[in-house]
């Protein structure tokens, strides 16, 4: 098992239990205590956990793999405003990708009165929003279901995405920073996001202001691969200006 896979599993356990012990982890993964301590040290530095005597506890503000239902209750007005602006970027006849996430799900809900639009998605919630929209042709990626995010991931999803060439990809992110680019709490989600960006002529990131200067576990893209970011007015203006100077369009909605 790769270190990044082991660390992801540690975060998942912390999310469920709140605390973990070195002794249980070394037996679970078949590694030494020193290896687990190194994992703890790295995860603590990234702000996910707090090391304790013989174990670790979840950082009270740690950015880990939070469930869809919990995320869907946060920053709702901002996400809906971002979603409505994103819908304006969709033209009749477009082929688009909608990533799995709460803001992209809101976007799917607002995709009314569009004609001959093909939507490729790995999101169960996006699919539920689109299933009764007559102007939309829905294509699912296939893959393994992640219950936390209600998304399809894995090699099947990635390979199927690579078969398509779309006009625009609308991508969600857990974190957005100048130094680390776009980040996500789960490596399998990240690989799907990479494939989506690579399959699109234009990549549009939907990120409310809480995502700015936030660094999650795994980087899936540099900002240089992004064409546009749609966020809300609360986004830090100094970061927004620096991003704009790189040539990336940043739209801030009310």
Same structural domain, 82 and 203: yes
Sorted by sequence, the CB contacts under 8 Å of residue 45 that are 6+ apart come out as: none
- Asked if 103 and 212 sit in the same domain, the reply is yes
Predicted pLDDT at 170: 98
Residues belonging to the chain: 254
Name residue 140's beta-bridge partners. Answer: 121
109 with 180, same domain: the answer is: yes
Helix, strand, coil share (%) of the chain residues, nearest 5: 40, 25, 35
pLDDT at 154: 94
Q: Are residues 49 and 172 in the same domain?
A: no
The residues pairing with 96 across neighbouring beta strands, listed in sequence order, are 119, 168
Check whether residue 174 and residue 109 sit in a common domain. yes
Domain count of the chain?
2
**What local confidence, expressed as pLDDT, does residue 114 receive?**
94
pLDDT at 148: 79
Residue 194 to residue 221: CA distance in whole angstroms: 7
The C-alpha atoms of residue 159 and residue 141 are separated, in whole angstroms, by 9
Whether 63 is covered by a domain: the verdict is: no
Q: Which of 183, 176, 185 is nearest to 235 (CA)?
A: 176
Where is the domain boundary, 58, 80, 104?
58
Of 58, 87, 103, the position where a domain reaches its end is 58
The span from the CA of 156 to the CA of 196, in Å, is 13
Residues 118 and 179 in one domain: yes
Q: Report the CATH number at residue 32.
A: 1.10.10.10
Domain annotation covers residue 101: yes
Based on the domain organization, do 156 and 39 belong to the same domain?
Answer: no
Cα angle, residue 226 at apex, residues 117 and 88 outer, rounded to 5°: 35
pLDDT of residue 49: 83
pLDDT score for 64: 55
117 shares a domain with 41: no
Whether residue 170 contacts residue 104, with contact meaning beta carbons closer than 8 Å, is answered with: yes
Please give the pLDDT value at position 71.
60
> Strand 19-21 to strand 55-58: parallel, antiparallel, or no bridges (unpaired)?
antiparallel
The pTM of the full predicted model, rounded to 2 decimals, is 0.77
**Positions of the chain with pLDDT lower than 50, given as ranges:** none
Range of the domain at 128: 68-253
């Amino acid at each position: 098992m790769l270190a990044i896979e082991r660390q992801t599993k540690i975060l998942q356990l912390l999310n469920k239990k709140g605390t973990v012990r070195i002794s249980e982890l070394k037996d679970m993964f078949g590694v030494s205590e020193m290896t687990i301590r190194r994992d703890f040290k790295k995860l603590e530095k990234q702000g996910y956990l707090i090391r304790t005597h013989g174990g670790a506890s979840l950082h009270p503000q740690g950015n880990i793999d939070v469930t869809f239902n919990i995320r869907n209750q946060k920053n709702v007005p901002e996400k809906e405003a971002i979603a409505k602006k994103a819908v304006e970027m969709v033209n009749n006849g477009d082929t688009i990708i909608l990533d799995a996430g709460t803001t992209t799900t809101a976007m799917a809900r607002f995709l009314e009165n569009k004609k001959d639009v093909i939507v490729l998605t790995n999101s169960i919630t996006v699919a539920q929003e689109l299933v009764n929209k007559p102007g939309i042709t829905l294509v699912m990626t296939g893959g393994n279901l992640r219950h936390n995010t209600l998304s399809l991931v894995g090699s099947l999803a990635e390979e199927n995405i690579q078969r398509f060439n779309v006009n625009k990809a609308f991508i969600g992110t857990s974190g957005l920073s100048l130094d680390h680019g776009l980040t996500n709490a789960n490596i399998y989600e990240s690989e799907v996001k990479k494939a989506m960006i690579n399959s699109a002529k234009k990549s549009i990131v939907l990120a409310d202001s809480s995502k700015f200067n936030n660094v999650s576990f795994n980087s899936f893209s540099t900002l240089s691969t992004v064409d546009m970011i749609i966020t809300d007015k609360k986004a830090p203006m100094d970061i927004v200006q620096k991003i704009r100077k790189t040539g990336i369009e940043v739209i801030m909605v009310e």
